[in-house]
A and B are shown apart, each in its own frame.
Chain A
Amino acid sequence: MDTFLYMAGGLAVLSTVLVIASTSAVPALLYFIVSLLSNALIFYLFGAPFAAVLEVIIYAGAIMVLFIFVMMMLNLGSEAKRQERGWLQPRGWIGPVLLAAVLLGEIFFVLYRQDLPGGVAGVVGAKQVGMALFGPYFIAVELASLLLLAGLVGACHLAGKASEGEEKGEKRP
């Protein structure tokens, strides 16, 4: 069990690194989907099958597909690939990597400072999650639905017809 866990973890990290370092968008998206799938495997190994399935269906299935649709719509081409390479100078990486390293160090420090509880073996199934959702977390469900409504309305409005000025690309006074 553990080997699968470590392999899945390594795969997740590797594919994420490839995502952030890749120059072209579509391969990056595909790498990310690999990362999500390995994440789902980890969820399953932790005894959370419902989460794993949701990860695959919604995250990899809906959200990533949306990304791919938008990429297709923008239709960037090889021109964009060259531009991307120009933007990804090595010296641009130093600061963020340093910052991330510091943050990672802090989190590691917190993690190893105290012991985690032993954990009881077992699977937390869909039924339990459902009962929790419609029980104590009921309000949150309603709020989440409001959030999705807001997202829907916003997306409809924003993705409407582009105004004339935008299509011609002129500056408004």
Chain B
Amino acid sequence: MNAASGQFGLLLAAVLFCLGMVGVLVRRNVIFILLSIEIMLNAAGLAFVTAGALWRQPDGQVMFIFILAMAAAEVSLGLAIVVRLFYRFKTVDVDAAARMRG
């Protein structure tokens, strides 16, 4: 693999990351927010793997595996919270939980 494809990979990761950020900031549906977070994590993983491939080391993939594990834990907890949110407010609007009581 040459430097050009390395650059391409990192560039792609940057673009995907920014797209994911836009999604987090724009969407009001909590599912979509979580999805956008996943997009961002995936982009980060792509960056790591690209870097590892550039140096032909396994470190990149190792970091990717950890990111994967973290994403899995985070998704399970996040979705559990989404379910509770839905039961409580009967909506998936994230702004429904904007006020504290009392």
Task: Please give the residue numbers on chain A whose beta carbons come within 8 Å of chain B beta carbons, in ascending order.
Answer: 2, 5-6, 9, 12-13, 16-17, 19-20, 25, 28-29, 32, 35-36, 39, 42-43, 45-48, 50-51, 54-55, 58-59, 62-63, 66-67, 70-71, 73-74, 76, 80, 83-84, 87-88, 92-93, 95-97, 99-101, 103-104, 107-108, 111, 115-122, 124, 128-129, 131-133, 137, 140, 144, 147-148, 150-152, 154-155, 158-159, 162, 166-167, 169, 171-172
Contacts and interface: CB of A to CB of B under 8 A. Distances in A.
User: Is chain B's binding surface mostly helix, strand, loop or mixed?
Assistant: helix
A147 B69 contact: yes
A67 B31 contact: yes
Contacts of B38: 32, 63
The 4 closest A-B pairs by CB, nearest first: A151-B73, A20-B23, A96-B25, A158-B80
| Interface bracket on B | 35 or more
User: Is chain A's binding surface mostly helix, strand, loop or mixed?
Assistant: helix
B76 A155 contact: yes
A131 B57 CA distance: 11
A103 B21 contact: yes
Contacts of A100: 18-19, 21-22
Nearest to B77: A154
Contact of A96 (B1, B26, B58): B26
Contacts of A116: 3, 6-7, 10, 54
Contacts of A129: 58, 61-62, 65
Interface in B48-64: 49-50, 52-62, 64
A20 B24 CA distance: 9
Contact of A13 (B15, B31, B82): B15
